[in-house]
């Protein structure tokens, strides 16, 4: 008899609630401490981001099952932060057998999350507003990846220099989804991008991981200080990828295309400076 996943469920509920609070606080003029019922204003953001993260993790989970790799259900991490969470993860409990499985498991989550994030960004940008720069002073400016910049120009156009774009909560959730996708696809260690890179490079992947960690530390000095923290965390978690059992099984064309697609997604979603505080 399987044990009921109570911890997973509790973390899921707590994370949704913390996202709900974050989404409500994102709304201008909402004070949930004096008007608790207005916490429901956070639903568009919380629901959108939760669906994106859930699709990412469940894609990993079901792909792992398909390749006979034991994995846990997703663990969501609630947090009193700008977005209400530190993300989610699943834990592998058995080795990954082949390089094909490694790419399938590594790429499935980011690709699923990417697709839903793009949809959310397009829908949310449609309902976003162009406001004067004065209305955004003292706030937080989000960085633009190649993709998000393109989507903004297509859906909204290019606002004049005196104006800025105030994102709808659904667009903000889409932006976060794309940012999380890029973080996961950095080809370091055992991140999703690390799984994919190891399937192609084997032991040379460790050299790539070292180079990229140094790059993150440099980015932390000149662009966004949290890149240095992320790089340090990668060192703590380990840069060496565990071997697959049957390395000699070759990658087919389908997996090579999936790996290349994941790399392209990483390039077009990466932002050197994701967050900037406006004066």
Q: How confident is the model at residue 36, as a pLDDT?
A: 81
* Across 92-106, 130-144, 203-217, 222-236, least confident range: 130-144
Instruction: Give yes or no for residue 136 having a pLDDT over 70.
Output: no
Tell me what pLDDT residue 26 has: 82
- How far lies 225's CA from each of 29, 236, 270, in Å? 30, 18, 15
Q: Which two tokens stand for residue 137?
A: 């002073």
pLDDT tens across 33-78, in order?
788 888 999 999 999 999 999 999 999 999 999 999 999 999 999 9
How many whole angstroms separate alpha carbon 221 and alpha carbon 130?
A: 32
Taking each continuous run of H as one helix and of E as one strand, the counts in the chain are 9, 6
Q: What is the mean pLDDT of residues 176-186?
A: 97
Domain ranges of the chain: 6-277
Query: What is the residue-averaged pLDDT of the chain?
Result: 92
pLDDT at residue 3, rounded to an integer: 72
Q: What is the pLDDT of residue 138?
A: 59
pLDDT category of residue 234 using cuts at 50, 70 and 90 = very high
Q: What is the structure's pLDDT at 263? A: 96
- Read off the pLDDT of residues 246-264 as tens digits, 9 standing for 90 and up: 999 999 999 999 999 999 9
Task: Read off the pTM.
Answer: 0.93
**Predicted local distance difference test score (pLDDT) of residue 80:** 87
The pLDDT of residue 131 = 87
Q: What is the pLDDT of residue 57?
A: 97
């Amino acid at each position: 008899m399987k044990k009921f996943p109570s911890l997973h469920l509790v973390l899921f509920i707590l994370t949704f609630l913390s996202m709900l609070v974050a989404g409500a606080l994102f709304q201008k003029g909402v004070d949930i401490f004096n008007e608790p019922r207005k916490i429901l204003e956070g639903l568009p953001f919380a629901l959108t981001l939760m669906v994106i993260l859930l699709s990412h993790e469940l894609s990993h989970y079901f792909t792992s099952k398909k390749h006979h790799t034991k994995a846990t259900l997703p663990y969501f991490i609630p947090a009193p932060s700008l977005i209400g969470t530190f993300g989610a993860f699943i834990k592998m409990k058995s080795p990954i057998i082949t390089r094909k499985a490694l790419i399938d498991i590594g790429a499935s989550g980011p690709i699923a999350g990417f697709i839903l994030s793009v949809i959310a960004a397009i829908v949310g940008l449609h309902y976003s507003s162009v406001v004067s720069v004065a209305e955004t002073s003292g706030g937080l400016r989000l960085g633009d990846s190649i993709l998000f910049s393109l989507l903004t120009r297509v859906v909204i156009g290019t606002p004049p220099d005196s104006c800025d774009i105030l994102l709808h909560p659904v667009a903000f959730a889409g932006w976060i989804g794309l940012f999380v996708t890029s973080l996961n696809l950095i080809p370091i260690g055992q991140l999703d991008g690390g799984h994919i890179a190891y399937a192609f490079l084997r032991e040379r992947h460790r050299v790539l991981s070292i180079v990229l960690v140094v790059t993150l530390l440099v980015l932390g000095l000149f662009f966004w200080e949290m890149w240095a923290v992320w790089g340090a965390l990668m060192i703590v978690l380990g840069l060496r990828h565990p071997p697959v059992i049957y390395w000699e099984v070759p990658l087919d064309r389908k997996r090579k295309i999936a790996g290349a697609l994941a790399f392209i997604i990483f390039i077009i979603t990466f932002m050197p400076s994701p967050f900037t505080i406006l004066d």
